[in-house]
């Protein structure tokens, strides 16, 4: 069932109060949104009809493994992830990720690795297209 995205301000407040906070020099966030442009068009340049939503689900066990792998990366001290579920409309949030670590290159790499793993291994997205 579709959910409302948690407050990123609240997440940052919690992260800064976490025991790992003194080791963290940078936080990065990612908020994924359902877009009107189909994945085939955006990524591959193929012709595809506009998207009007998507069915979105995820495997919790695989997500937990992906989060643990990110936490194990060098210099990474804080990871929090939220994923939506159900039928999502254009403009709805798909996911929110927060990563905190010691230095910028490590945090950027960890965010990219985690979001990539989530998208490639943990979620199932079915785009729903506008019909004339």
Domain boundaries defined on the chain? 8-129
Report if pTM > 0.85: yes
Q: Reduced to 3 states, what is the DSSP secondary structure of residue 18?
A: coil
The answer, yes or no, to whether residue 132 has pLDDT greater than 60, is: no
Residue linked to tokens 């001290």:
77
Here the contacts of 38-42 (C-beta below 8 Å, separation 24 or greater) are 38/127, 38/129, 39/125, 39/127
Is domain 8-129 classified as CATH 3.90.1170.40? yes
Closest to 53 in 3D by CA, of 114, 113, 131: 131
Name the percent of the chain lying above pLDDT 90.
Answer: 91
Q: Report pLDDT for 125.
A: 96
* pLDDT averaged over every residue in the chain: 96
């Amino acid at each position: 069932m579709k959910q409302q995205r948690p407050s990123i301000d609240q997440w940052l407040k919690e992260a800064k109060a976490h025991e790992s906070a003194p080791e963290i020099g940078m936080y990065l966030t990612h908020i994924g949104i359902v877009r009107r442009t189909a994945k085939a068009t955006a990524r591959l340049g193929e012709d595809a009809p506009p998207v009007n939503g998507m069915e979105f689900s995820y495997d919790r066990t695989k997500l937990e493994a992906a989060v643990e792998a990110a936490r194990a990366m060098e210099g990474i001290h804080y990871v929090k992830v939220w994923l939506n579920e159900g039928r999502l409309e254009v403009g709805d949030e798909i996911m929110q990720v927060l990563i905190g670590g010691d230095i910028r290159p490590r945090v950027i790499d960890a965010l990219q690795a985690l979001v990539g793993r989530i998208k490639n291994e943990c979620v199932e997205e079915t785009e729903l297209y506008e019909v004339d």
